[in-house]
């Protein structure tokens, strides 16, 4: 199925003659507007304690409700990846991060309300100076720490997060 199959009307003029142009776009046969299907940006944070324990959250909402996740979320309009990871970690954990360091990115498909949102997930290493305000909030039902030996990528519910945790445990934790 074309990624824009559920978009039936031209977003520019409202015409119903909005048809598949190629594998990644639709074009309006009335006004000529071409709409391209592009990935949304999202962020995720690898946050460790001085004892090398990884901060994880348990997802409070679908998709993958109840599974493990890394703190993070979608990048808002006019926001950098760094601003987004700082905001998202604050919303989900109450923690303030400084100087997030970009590690790598992975594509993902995020199933949201019956629609597949294609994302490009940006992974950051983040440091915390003050842990006293840690709490689970927003999309996080629970916040806790895992020792390196307790980290099982299969417990993480989203595909890109599982893959990132595998990469991180093999490459970034020594």
19 given a catalytic annotation: no
- Cα torsion through 84, 164, 41, 135, rounded to 10: -30
The phi-psi region of residue 114 (left if phi > 0; otherwise alpha if psi is between -120 and 50; otherwise beta) is left
Dist. CA 48–CA 132, nearest whole Å? 15
What angle is formed at CA 149 by the lines to CA 168 and CA 125, rounded to 5 degrees? 30
**Which of 50, 83, 88, 142 is flagged as catalytic?**
142
List, by residue number, the catalytic residues. Answer: 142
């Amino acid at each position: 199925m074309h990624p824009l199959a559920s978009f039936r009307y031209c977003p520019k003029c409202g015409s119903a003659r909005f048809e598949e142009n190629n594998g990644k776009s639709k074009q309006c046969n009335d006004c000529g507007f071409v709409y391209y299907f592009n990935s949304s940006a999202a962020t995720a944070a690898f946050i460790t304690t001085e004892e090398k324990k990884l901060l994880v959250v348990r997802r409070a909402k679908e998709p993958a409700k109840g599974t493990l996740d890394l703190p993070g979320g979608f990048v808002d309009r006019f926001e950098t990846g760094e601003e987004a990871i700082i905001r998202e970690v604050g919303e989900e954990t109450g923690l303030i991060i400084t100087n997030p360091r970009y590690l790598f990115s992975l594509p993902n498909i995020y199933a949201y309300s019956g629609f597949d949102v294609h994302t490009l997930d940006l992974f950051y290493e983040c440091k915390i100076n003050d842990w006293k305000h840690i709490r689970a909030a927003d999309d996080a039902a629970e916040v806790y720490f895992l020792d390196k030996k307790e980290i099982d990528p299969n417990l993480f519910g989203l595909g890109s997060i599982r893959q990132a945790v595998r990469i991180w445990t093999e490459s970034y934790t020594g």
